[in-house]
Structure 1
Amino acid sequence: MDVFLPSLVVLGFVLVGIAVLVGLARRRTRTRLRLESDAAAELVRSASISLVRADDLVQDATNELGFAIAQFGENATREFAAALTLSRRQLTEAFALQQKLDDVEPDAAAEIHRWNEKIRAVADEATQRLVAQTRNFDKKRGVERTAPQALDQLVRRLDRSADRVKNGARSIDRLGLSYTAHALAPISTNVARAQAALDDAREAAASAAARLTAGEPVGEQMSAAEHGLFTATQLLDAIESGEDELHIGFANLGRATDAAAIELTEARGLRDSHDEADTSANLNRVVAEATRVLAQLGGPDRLSDPAVDLARLREVMDGLDVMRSEARNRQLRLENARTALAGALLTARGQISLTRDFIGGNRSRVQAGARTRLSEAERQLALAEAEADPVIALDNARRAMTHATDADALARYDAR
């Protein structure tokens, strides 16, 4: 009996633990089911609210469409009518789904959930569409209410724009005295186009005034007049900004030509002082071309196209810069070669003299190889001394030194 007592105690604890776990699992299941039931109920409630709201709005929109047709006409309300037709079709679909949910036939939980989601989505879409159309016509009615004041302001703005058209024409004429037709091309037709847009706007404004007197809607006519005025304003603004851009471009061109004149002076000095005839000739060619372009651009009666002229000047000055850079490099190479040449000649002469003396003292033992290299060293030295180009002369002197050194090494080898 004493042996089995601890085992019974352990078994009791195990059974208690199992009971606790089973209780917790059942509690979680009940909680999950309650949450799922609450969510399903909320979905049903939400779908019902959306359906009722959409149905009420369709009825209100039907009345609203009738008022809109009477006020604005069928053409202006065609989009509203199409939206109402589509929303009615969606609402019919939603009610059909609701009927399935309300009939006596039992439905699966998944179907109930899917149908309620569909009802809510379709009803909300129909509602949003009709709300947008209703707001649009509310705005149109606001326009109609303020139409007399807005039309009066619009006419005054049209008068001010007419003065701007005259100023724009004077600006184009004035710019034509300084700039080419190509430079003025982006804005040259703006005056005529602005005048045409203002004429259309005035015609629309006159039509609006007549309809306003007759008590008819004027929204479309006011909108057309505003559009014409906006177009004219944009075209006239472009004349002003285009004039500013031309003047800025002309100022930039002036600064560029001044800088080019300074660079040309430096290039002429480099051309005249360069030691190489070919390089001087190449420099002279690009200097002449740049001089010709500068003279053309600086003509007193010449019409300017700042963008084209600046591009042309940059092209010719880029060519001049390349040639100047090459000429400077060649001049620096000549100067460096001239500096190194004296030392190279002195070293080569010394090595040739030493090698010749050694061979002369060991004539019976020194073979042809050493003598051949010595002869070549003397020939290269003679070429270096006779060469006018310091770069070529330096190369010859260095070759003379190399051959003399090789001759000395071979001679000493033969002598051993």
Structure 2
Amino acid sequence: MTDALWWLPSVVVLGIVVGVIALLVTASRRKARGIRAAEKAEITQRARAAAISLVRADDLIEAATDELGFAIAQFGERATADFADALTVSKRQLREAFALKQKLDDGEPDTDSQIRQWTEQITRLADEATARLDAQTRDFDTKRVVEQNAPLQLERLRRRLDRATDRLAGGAATLDRLATSYSASALASISGNVERARTAIDAGRRAADAADARLAAGATEPVGEQVSAAEQALFTATALLDAIETGEDELHVCFASLGTALAAAETELAEARALRDGHEESDASADLNRVIATADTVVAELRRPGRVSDPSADVARLREALDGLDVTRSEARNRQLRLDNAREAYVGARLAARSQIGITRDFITANRGRVGADARTRLAEAERQLALAEAEADPVTALDAARRAMTHTTDADALAHYDAR
């Protein structure tokens, strides 16, 4: 009997294997059905969202069509041209979206990839159309608020224009006072600001008068453009008058920097004289004597009583004279003395560069429409060199960078004034 049942273990093993395979196949089918169900649910959700976006866009286009008619009646066709273009584009996108929706709804079977792609296109087209028209609608809502508030806004604008007019005399007096201490070149960036501000104020009043005339006549034409023009003119006038006050402060600061630089120059000259008088080499003493004489001449001229100053130009001139002195003196001193000198000179160079950069930056800002790329490039390089100088631990390298900053900002200032003229 034992021999007759030898095959039983093999049958049992085979049954177990078959059972395991059946379980694996069943699990795989369930997983596939789960994935398929999830994909179907996602496609359904996207289709529902696309339909909502499509309905919202269709309703908005109908409303925007009516809104455009109201806007044309209120503001005219020229002012509503962008709105009309936006509506045309949005209508075209909506037609494309409806065509895709029809392809989804027809009787022809579509693949999951096609359904997903067309659904995403519908949503994108509808949302873009909606966003475009929402922006236009908000813009005209803002314009209507301006029109509604125009009388009150014009009243406020006139008061502000009056205050700006009152500042003209003060600005002129400031320029007259500054002219007794500073040269025409130093005042070039602000010397014409009073007249330019007066012109801007007059333009603002004309725009306000035009808006008032329309309101008084009960005209249907909008006044928003006139109100905006008056506001822009007031802003320009205010900026020009503010620049006079800012320019005065900056000139005083720069003049104080010049005084500091002159004091530093006296110190450098005294040290150079001591080095010249105590130097053992006659050639080195002769070289020092030559650059000392040049620097003495410049310092004497800058200190001359009653002289009107261009602080930034004077600082640059002084720095140029002292540069030769620094080079010659540095060659005659040992490394430690050279480092000490550079550390002292850096204070004045950094202050001069920072002051000149500020003045040049303000001039370019005040004349941004006329100053070209060359001046701005030099100024950007000056700012970069000054940042390098301030971050540099080695005094000699920092001094060189600060001098380069001064050179670049001087070039930038010259180019900016040339462009502005």
Instruction: State the TM-score, normalized to the length of structure 1.
Output: 0.75
Q: CA deviation at 1:153?
A: 1.0
Residue 7 of structure 2 corresponds to residue 4 of structure 1: yes
1:237-276 equivalences in 2 (<5 Å): 237-276=242-281
Q: Deviations over 1:354-402 (max 9, x none)?
A: xxxxxxxxxxxxxxxxxxxxxxxxxxxxxxxxxxxxxxxxxxxxxxxxx
Residue 165 of structure 2 corresponds to residue 162 of structure 1: yes
Q: For residue 389 of structure 1, what is the aligned residue in structure 2?
A: none
Letter in 2 for 1:130: L
Residue 320 of structure 2 corresponds to residue 315 of structure 1: yes
Deviation larger for 17-26 or 115-124: 115-124
- Aligned partner of residue 146 in structure 1, secondary structure: helix
CA distance in 2, matches of 1:313, 1:11: 105
- Aligned partner of residue 204 in structure 2, secondary structure: helix
Q: For residue 18 of structure 2, what is the aligned residue in structure 1?
A: 15
CA distance in 1, matches of 2:328, 2:105: 93
CA distance in 1, matches of 2:279, 2:110: 103
Name the CA shift for 1:110/1:180 in 2 (closer, same or farther; >3 Å). same
CA distance in 2, matches of 1:192, 1:163: 13
Q: For residue 152 of structure 2, what is the aligned residue in structure 1?
A: 149
Q: CA deviation at 1:328?
A: 4.2
Q: Deviations over 1:159-188 (max 9, x none)?
A: 111122222122112111111111111112
Q: Deviations over 1:220-274 (max 9, x none)?
A: 1111111111111122222111111111110011111112123323333333343
Deviation larger for 109-118 or 45-54: 109-118
Deviation larger for 163-172 or 105-114: 105-114
Q: For residue 65 of structure 2, what is the aligned residue in structure 1?
A: 62
1:118-267 equivalences in 2 (<5 Å): 118-215=121-218, 216=220, 217-267=222-272
Letter in 1 for 2:21: I
Instruction: State the TM-score, normalized to the length of structure 2.
Output: 0.75
Letter in 2 for 1:167: G
Q: What 5-or-longer segments of structure 1 have no aligned partner?
A: 333-416
- Structure 2 residue aligned with 1:93, among 78, 92, 96? 96
- Structure 2 residue aligned with 1:111, among 90, 110, 114? 114
Name the CA shift for 1:145/1:275 in 2 (closer, same or farther; >3 Å). same
Name the CA shift for 1:328/1:11 in 2 (closer, same or farther; >3 Å). closer
CA distance in 2, matches of 1:94, 1:112: 13
Q: For residue 305 of structure 2, what is the aligned residue in structure 1?
A: 300
Letter in 2 for 1:285: R
Residue 282 of structure 2 corresponds to residue 277 of structure 1: yes
Q: What 5-or-longer segments of structure 2 have no aligned partner?
A: 338-421
Percent identical among aligned pairs is 61
CA distance in 1, matches of 2:162, 2:155: 11
- Structure 2 residue aligned with 1:35, among 14, 38, 41? 38
Q: Deviations over 1:172-226 (max 9, x none)?
A: 1211111111111111222222111111111111111122223432211111111
Q: For residue 78 of structure 1, what is the aligned residue in structure 2?
A: 81
- Aligned partner of residue 304 in structure 1, secondary structure: coil
- Aligned partner of residue 253 in structure 1, secondary structure: helix
Q: For residue 293 of structure 2, what is the aligned residue in structure 1?
A: 288
Q: For residue 361 of structure 1, what is the aligned residue in structure 2?
A: none
CA distance in 2, matches of 1:267, 1:134: 74
Letter in 1 for 2:285: S
Q: CA deviation at 1:82?
A: 0.9
Larger radius of gyration: 1
CA distance in 2, matches of 1:328, 1:134: 75
CA distance in 2, matches of 1:151, 1:49: 44
Q: What is the alpha-carbon root mean square deviation over aligned residues? A: 1.9
Deviation larger for 274-283 or 58-67: 274-283
Letter in 1 for 2:247: G
Q: Deviations over 1:131-159 (max 9, x none)?
A: 11011111111112222221111111111
Q: Deviations over 1:279-323 (max 9, x none)?
A: 332222112111111110001121111111111112222222333
Q: Deviations over 1:320-350 (max 9, x none)?
A: 23333334459x9xxxxxxxxxxxxxxxxxx
CA distance in 1, matches of 2:263, 2:213: 63
